[in-house]
Amino acid sequence: MFRKLPGDETRNLVTTTPDTAVVFRPAVVTTPAILTLIILAWRLLAGLVRTTWRHPVAVLAVLIPAALMWLYGWRAALLLLTPIPVGLLAWALTDRTSFVHLLGWRLLAWWRLIWIYRRHWQPVMIVSGLGKHIRGREYLPRLVKVTCTSWADQVTVRMLDGQAVKDWSDRIDHLAHGFGSPSCRVAIVKAGRLLLTFPRHDPLAVPLAALPVPETPTVGPIEIGKREDGTPWLLKILGTHILVAGATGAGKGSIIWSTIRALLPAVRAGLVELWALDPKLMELSFGRALFGDRYAADPADCADLLEAAVKVMQERAARFAGSQRSHTPTVEDPFVLVVVDEVAFLTAYQADKDLKRRISAALATLTTQGRAVGIGVLAALQDPRKEVMNIRNLFPDKIALRLDESEQVDMVLGDGARDRGALADHISPIPEQGAGVGYVRLETSPDPIRVRAAFVADADIRAMVATYAGGER
């Protein structure tokens, strides 16, 4: 500060107020070298034990040759070890099934764990946002194990504390591309653990021919195609209702006709009745003779047929009341499957409001009360919007074929289905590649299953009509 002094002299005076600023320096703690060496040795030992426990075959495959070479030299080691690969090769050539089941998939899983997942784990986790940097320390989800099947890698992961399943399901595209897979699916194993499925190839890429008609009558589950894991696709029809949604050319007819084809012996035996509603006059009319007088195409006739099914349901409910809670098909009380092709034409696009009301009321009644007394509904539609099909939630089992928009997947299969890997909007529009391919979500499981229905050609339907039409009902 400045102050005027006698003699007009100006002096620069420094204030005597003490400076209160304090500089804090972090304390530096020096870790003793012996403690650092002990920690490193412990981590090394724990890593060796963990590696031996997880990969005993791989560890032995390295240790045994090294020990033999150290004890007897490389010539003796080569002589002693040659029979092992020769024996494995002979085993693989003579009995490939047992070799692959007992050893092949394990070797492939070990290789893909080392070369694909562990090598790319850290960058994929960080870039996708599933790994975290907190105060200079890196936290990554734990890669627990990798198992291989004939078509996919199944990776078990332990999530970070505080993570949710949605954090992973929102990043399935990051995970799939990061590990070089066409897609990724997320399933819950238990609290804190997830199972990530990465397909290596598509076992459903080739269309399936029509399956043989069963030799014995069956009411289900019936085989109508193949699942992604190579096992038969068994569709439950007794005690449930099924909604099939898909764009034009997605393969709804494959599911409908494969179901009808599998039930024909039961129809002939009198254990099943097929009631068909075909407002488009293009799909079910091709095999109209299989349905007899239980076929309707005109909207008024469709309403009458549905109300007749409601009367059968109510009559059975009155007889079964107090005596049974589930239905077993018999000749006296057969299982009735009401097949509706393009149900939205009847419930939304119908100009006659009275017919629309009658049809919607009958379908709602059948889907809420019918399965306990042996009445099932198999309905197909193209547009899954609620204003078009407002009773879609009354169908316990749902099938989504190729759809036009990603939002439609959850409309059909329920909230979160697409996040779990039901990419129905990514199915190829090329008929040879995508027709009949879809995702199934059952009442008993929230996880979608990828499937493909067998294609029933026109010649197959003609043969079905020639063999089973007009048979004993």
**CB–CB of 200/151 below 8 Å?**
yes
- Average pLDDT score over residue span 253-263: 96
Q: Say how far apart CA 147 and CA 109 lie, in whole Å.
A: 5
Q: Which residue has the higher pLDDT, 21 or 366?
A: 366
Please report the pLDDT score of residue 22 as a whole number. 56
> Which runs of E-coded beta strand occur in 93-231?
132-134, 137-139, 142-148, 152-158, 185-190, 193-199, 222-227
**CB–CB of 213/267 below 8 Å?**
no
Q: Which helix (H) or strand (E) holds 378?
A: strand 375-381
Q: Token pair 């049809």 is at which residue?
A: 359
Which token pair is 143? 């890669």
Q: CATH 3.40.50.300 residue ranges in the chain? A: 222-468
> Does the pLDDT at position 40 exceed 80?
yes
Q: Say how far apart CA 276 and CA 380 lie, in whole Å.
A: 12
Mean pLDDT, the chain, integer: 87
Q: 222-468: which CATH architecture?
A: 3-Layer(aba) Sandwich (3.40)
Q: Give the three-class secondary structure for 458.
A: helix
Q: How far is CA 467 from the centre of its chain?
A: 37
Which token pair is 386? 């609620």
Q: Say how far apart CA 205 and CA 328 lie, in whole Å.
A: 37
Residue pLDDT, tens place only, 78-113: 777 777 777 777 877 888 788 788 888 988 998 999
Residue pLDDT, tens place only, 147-184: 999 899 999 999 999 899 999 988 999 999 999 998 89
Convert 169-191 to b/e letters by CB count within 10 Å (16 or more is b).
bebbebbbebbebebbbbbeeee
β-strand partners of 112: none
Q: Say how far apart CA 274 and CA 256 lie, in whole Å.
A: 11
Please report the pLDDT score of residue 84 as a whole number. 75
Residues 6 or more apart in contact with residue 452 via CB below 8 angstroms: 204, 207, 208, 225, 226, 233, 436, 437, 438
Q: Give the three-class secondary structure for 146.
A: strand
Q: Which residue has the higher pLDDT, 25 or 454?
A: 454
Among 22-26, 91-95, 380-384, which is the least confidently predicted range?
Answer: 22-26
> Does the pLDDT at position 41 exceed 80?
yes
Convert 42-66 to b/e letters by CB count within 10 Å (16 or more is b).
eeeeeeeeeeeeebeebeeeeeebe
Residue pLDDT, tens place only, 214-238: 999 989 799 999 999 889 999 999 9
| Chain length of the chain | 473
Residues 6 or more apart in contact with residue 311 via CB below 8 angstroms: none
Q: Say how far apart CA 204 and CA 452 lie, in whole Å.
A: 6
Please report the pLDDT score of residue 93 as a whole number. 81
Q: How far is CA 70 from the centre of its chain?
A: 51
**CB–CB of 305/277 below 8 Å?**
yes
Please report the pLDDT score of residue 1 as a whole number. 45
pLDDT band at 140 (very low <50, low <70, confident <90, very high): very high
Residue pLDDT, tens place only, 58-79: 777 778 888 878 888 877 777 7
Q: Which residue has the higher pLDDT, 76 or 207?
A: 207
**CB–CB of 464/264 below 8 Å?**
yes
Q: Give the three-class secondary structure for 418.
A: coil
Among 135-144, 258-267, 365-374, which is the least confidently predicted range?
Answer: 135-144
Residue 23 has φ and ψ, to the nearest 5°, of -95, 120
> Does the pLDDT at position 11 exceed 50?
no
Q: Token pair 């009509």 is at which residue?
A: 465
Residue 283 has φ and ψ, to the nearest 5°, of -105, -65
Q: Say how far apart CA 58 and CA 134 lie, in whole Å.
A: 35
pLDDT band at 13 (very low <50, low <70, confident <90, very high): very low
**CB–CB of 424/403 below 8 Å?**
yes
pTM for the model stands at 0.78
Q: Give the three-class secondary structure for 153.
A: strand
Please report, in angstroms and rounded to a whole number, the separation of the first and last CA atoms in the chain: 114
Residue type for position 181? S
Residue 146 region by backbone torsions, left for phi larger than 0, else alpha for psi between -120 and 50, else beta: beta
Q: Say how far apart CA 391 and CA 360 lie, in whole Å.
A: 8
Please report the pLDDT score of residue 217 as a whole number. 92
pLDDT band at 473 (very low <50, low <70, confident <90, very high): very low
Q: CATH 3.30.980 residue ranges in the chain? A: 105-201
For CA atoms 293, 298, 302, 303, give the dihedral sign: negative
For the chain, what percent of residues have pLDDT higher than 90?
52
Residue pLDDT, tens place only, 447-458: 899 999 999 999
Which token pair is 141? 């989800």
Please report the pLDDT score of residue 462 as a whole number. 93
Q: Read off the DSSP letter of residue 377.
A: E
**CB–CB of 455/254 below 8 Å?**
yes
> Does the pLDDT at position 15 exceed 60?
no
- Average pLDDT score over residue span 280-296: 90
- Average pLDDT score over residue span 122-142: 90
- Average pLDDT score over residue span 319-327: 84
Q: Which residue has the higher pLDDT, 49 or 176?
A: 176
pLDDT band at 129 (very low <50, low <70, confident <90, very high): very high
> Does the pLDDT at position 436 exceed 50?
yes
Give 223's Cβ-side CA count (13 Å radius).
15
**CATH for 105-201 (3.30.980, 3.40.50, 3.30.70, 3.30.2010):** 3.30.980
